[in-house]
Amino acid sequence: MKRDRWVAVIGLGFVGLPLVQLLVEKGYSVLGIDMDRRKISFLQEGRSYLSDFTDEEMKELMGKGKFIPTEGYEEVGRAEYIIIAVPTPLREKEPDLTAVEAVLHTLHPYLRSGQTVILESSTYPGTTEEMAKRILEKTGLQVGKEIFLGYSPERIEPGNGSFPLEKIPKVISGVTSECLGKVKELYGDLFETIVPVSSPKTAEFVKMLENSQRLVNISFINEINMLAHRLKVDVWEVIEAAKTKPYGFTPYYPSAGAGGHCIPVDPVYLAWSARREGMRLRMIEEASRVNELIPHFVMERAVELLEREGISLEKAKVGAIGITYKKDVNDIRESAALKVIRLLQERGAEVEVYDPLYSEDLPRLPRFPWEGEKIGSFDLILILVDHSRIPWEELIRYGRLIYDTRNVTQRVHAPHVVRG
């Protein structure tokens, strides 16, 4: 029976915690492991640290008595399945699998015959079969016979509640057919649609393709925005008209740049993998370079708007709206908004920020209260992230000069509001 089946989820962030919630809803008992003591404390108290979960949802999850959050691995032996969902960032523009390797090595003393390990962390094609299999077999357990190993790329989009986790088709793979069967047994019970592929390398490539395509398209539209500015054309009007074409056009929208733990990172993993094979992915490499330029473009636009008002950046007071990497999340990893803010500060601007989703203090980043008088005191209001819970009407009413990078002011036609 499910109440007797245990699953361990290692990494309780934007990927791991929703998976825990789904497992508990489906009747499994879950051991959640994370080395961040703060997260464990929050969970034990029934408090949320993720923007996609409310405190009430955390209390409900903990109240079911089927989820044990912990920093230790000692109880991993009871788990039939072990799911790894830890970060895979970049280090000097190369893949950094330190966290994945550390988890695999830490698991060694607790692994037993019959367990299935599933890697969900985004990584370059070949990781599961080249690295994870090698490390696991150092225990003396043979993958495919005594222990089972698979890869299934996460497809969670933080801040987007339109797609319940169980309804998102789940790509799955296994090192052997027996491994795939084990992965299919669990994920076939959790997700409405599973998509088995021929190998972990294929499944890893799926994730790299999905996010590389997004980076290329985001960088493309941001570069188009640069040209539109030069030509004095409203890029938002161009996009709205273009998307009336019923085929062949997919709208993407300008921003301060792609951020987060996936979109600017995964394509670099894929480009690194290509170089390892003696070739280059020039389009992806160029998209990454363009993405790095976008915060500089936004900063220069801010300078241009201030100078038009006779204000030098060195003497300017700027109110920045949003510091997270995207709308409706509380994550600042690879945040383009933060990069813009730091560039403005480096040029001498006095910057204060407002972000209702991110509450932690950051160095040299004072916050301002949401008050009309305070909003009106800034020489420039810079909209970097379009969080749903911000009362934009008040900002438009009190702001003296507004630069909107996210088109939240699309229905406003006023000389003090500039989009693009």
Residues annotated catalytic, as ranges: 262
Distance CA 159, CA 114 (A): 37
Give me the helix-helix angle, 282-308 and 336-346, nearest 10°. Answer: 50
User: Among candidates 111, 115, 182, which has minimal Cα distance to 152?
Assistant: 182
Distance CA 22, CA 144 (A): 27
Measured distance between the N- and C-terminal CA atoms of the chain, rounded to whole angstroms: 56
Residue 237 CB contacts under 8 Å (≥ 6 apart), including other chains? none
Distance CA 330, CA 352 (A): 18
Query: Which residue bears the tokens 């420039």?
Result: 380
Q: Where would I find the H helices in 277-351?
A: 282-308, 336-346
User: Among candidates 157, 363, 384, which has minimal Cα distance to 260?
Assistant: 157
Distance CA 88, CA 91 (A): 10
Residues in the chain: 420
User: Among candidates 22, 271, 276, which has minimal Cα distance to 154?
Assistant: 22
> Pairing state of beta strands 81-84 and 6-10?
parallel
What letter would DSSP give residue 147? B
In this structure, the number of other CB atoms found within 10 A of the CB of residue 342 comes to 16
399 by Cβ neighbours in 10 Å (0-12 / 13-18 / 19+) ranks as buried
Distance CA 31, CA 169 (A): 24
Distance CA 190, CA 170 (A): 9
What letter would DSSP give residue 194? E
Distance CA 416, CA 306 (A): 11
Distance CA 345, CA 338 (A): 11
